[in-house]
Amino acid sequence: MKTHYYLGWFNNFFPETLGGLLQEDITDRKSIAMISSNPSVYEDDGATERSWLDQAGIIFDEYHLINDRVHKEEAQAKIRNASVIFLLGGNILEQNRFLMEYGLSDLIKSSRAVVMGASAGAINMSAKWLCSKTFGFEVEKSSVYSGIGLDHFSVLSHFDLENNIALFQSELSLLSEEIDVYASNKDCAIRVKGDNIDIIGNVFLISNSKIQKLDETL
């Protein structure tokens, strides 16, 4: 059964509920492949995300950081052999480019590993996402990018949605006519396990141009 975690950002550590779920789901802890969102920046890359896992008591035998210091073939091998794949937070566009350049998307999609993404990583896990000035991108024109497509929906993670609901609803209206959009702020998570979708924290669903706040399921 495939398991995917779409995470926001956590100022401290994982909430207890999320930590408990990860403990249950991550039973194979041989290796974790952490995919950079800033592949040319090396200092402390992944340190924050690793601290979340450490605090939750989820320790791996091997840790592999995949950035442009790692050869393409080696990166692909580490993805194939990973127990957990973690797409790190940071620069969404750079990570999207890196995934394509290194040919990692199809490998991640076919992997039996638990796949996690924080902020930028969660967005790139989704089927499609909107690149817009509204969301802080330095672009003149909004455009839709393809993500890995682990699940058939879009994710907008780690944005101040609660204070800008009308703006986000308007901006995401067109995309939401095509696929559902799950939008969340910090300290939130969406878990997809098999056919079930679980919600932790303040998560909104935008579907067919209508927005609703989802109830937590755990």
Q: DSSP string spanning 116-168?
A: EEETHHHHHHSSEEEE-GGGT---SS-EEEE---SSSSEEE-SS--TT-HHHH
Write down the pLDDT at residue 169. Answer: 83
- The chain-wide mean pLDDT, for the chain, equals 93
The secondary structure element, H or E, covering residue 6 is: strand 3-7
- Report DSSP letters for 68-120, one per residue: TTS-HHHHHHHHHH-SEEEEPSS-HHHHHHHHHHTT-HHHHHH--SEEEEETH
218 Cβ neighbours under 8 A, 6+ residues apart: 17, 21, 191, 198, 199, 200
- The CA distances from residue 16 to 57, 64, 98, 158, 204, in Å, are 11, 26, 33, 19, 21
pLDDT digits over 154-199, tens only? 999 877 766 777 887 888 999 999 999 999 888 999 999 999 999 9
Report which residue type is found at 205.
L
pLDDT higher than threshold 90 for residue 210: yes
Quote the CA–CA distance of 59 and 5 in Å, as a whole number.
17
Nearest to 114 by CA among 37, 8, 9, 32: 32
Smallest CA-to-CA distance from 112 within 87, 79, 88, 73 is with 79
Structure confidence at residue 139 (pLDDT) = 86
- Domains located in the chain, CATH noted: 3-213 (3.40.50.880)
pLDDT tens per residue, range 85-112: 999 999 999 999 999 999 999 999 999 9
Is the model's pLDDT at 209 over the cut of 90? yes
pLDDT of 1 reads 85
- Give CA–CA dist 175/208, Å, rounded: 8
